[in-house]
Amino acid sequence: MSPRALDLAGAPSVALVNGFDAFVTGEIPRLRQALVARYGVDVGSDATSAATLWAWEHWEQLSRNDRPIAYLYRVAQSSQRTTWAWRKRITTTFPSEAATTDRTAAVDLGLVLAKLPTNQRICVLLVHAHAWSYAEVAELLGMSVDAVTNHVHRGTTRLRKLLKEDQ
């Protein structure tokens, strides 16, 4: 049951509620990082909200899962997949690099990131921008560590090439 659902037989379990709270505090920000890397800020944030709602509704099921964040990542993907036809019109957007930093890069990283293939972008951002380990990314995406290593390598190589080309 969801930790906060009205239980007609009694109050919700304190352990369930605390577990959910800890999960929201610790894991949802990381899930958001992954979904933002996947879908961009706008859709990624929305997907995070949808996944959080799902987690709340299915907390008991989720709390038994060995890899809850990976499971929620799939849930978020599914929730977004239902809107694929409609979302074709929405481009994956990333914030400008210059908006919040002083550096005046010749080419904005936010623009170039959108050109990367999806898996390469996710791996590069999670490993280099958010300091995830290769194993954590592999667990999230359901890949082997070697595959993640390849994606990161190819992604960074391609990213640097794109940055140089655009200069």
Q: 6 in helix, strand or coil?
A: coil
**Which H or E run contains 2?**
none
For the beta carbon of residue 70, count every other beta carbon within 10 angstroms. 18
Q: Per rule CB under 8 A, is residue 63 in the interface with other proteins?
A: no
Q: Which positions from 88 to 107 touch other proteins by CB under 8 A, shown as an x/- string?
A: --x--xxx-x-xxx-x-x--
> Nearest distance from residue 77's CB to other proteins, in Å?
13
Q: Per rule CB under 8 A, is residue 16 in the interface with other proteins?
A: no
Q: Per rule CB under 8 A, is residue 37 in the interface with other proteins?
A: yes
User: How many chain residues touch other proteins (CB under 8 A)?
Assistant: 62
Nearest of 21, 111, 118, 112 to residue 73 by alpha carbon: 118
> Nearest distance from residue 70's CB to other proteins, in Å?
20
Q: Per rule CB under 8 A, is residue 8 in the interface with other proteins?
A: yes
Binding range to other proteins, per CB under 8 A, among 45-53, 62-70, 115-123, 136-144:
45-53
Q: Of the candidates 19, 41, 147, 158, which one interacts with other proteins according to CB under 8 A?
A: 41
> Nearest distance from residue 97's CB to other proteins, in Å?
6
In order of 39, 116, 131, 133, the CA distances from 137 in angstroms are 16, 17, 10, 6
CA 84, distance to chain mean position in Å, is 17
DSSP string, 90-147: SPP----STTS-S---SS-HHHHHTTS-HHHHHHHIIIIIS---HHHHHHHHT--HHH
Q: Which amino acid is at 36?
A: V
Site residues, other proteins (CB under 8 A): 1-9, 12, 17, 21, 24-25, 28-29, 32-33, 36-37, 41-43, 45-46, 48-50, 52-53, 56-57, 79, 82-83, 85-86, 90, 93-95, 97, 99-101, 103, 105, 109-110, 124-125, 128-131, 149-150, 152-153, 156-157, 160
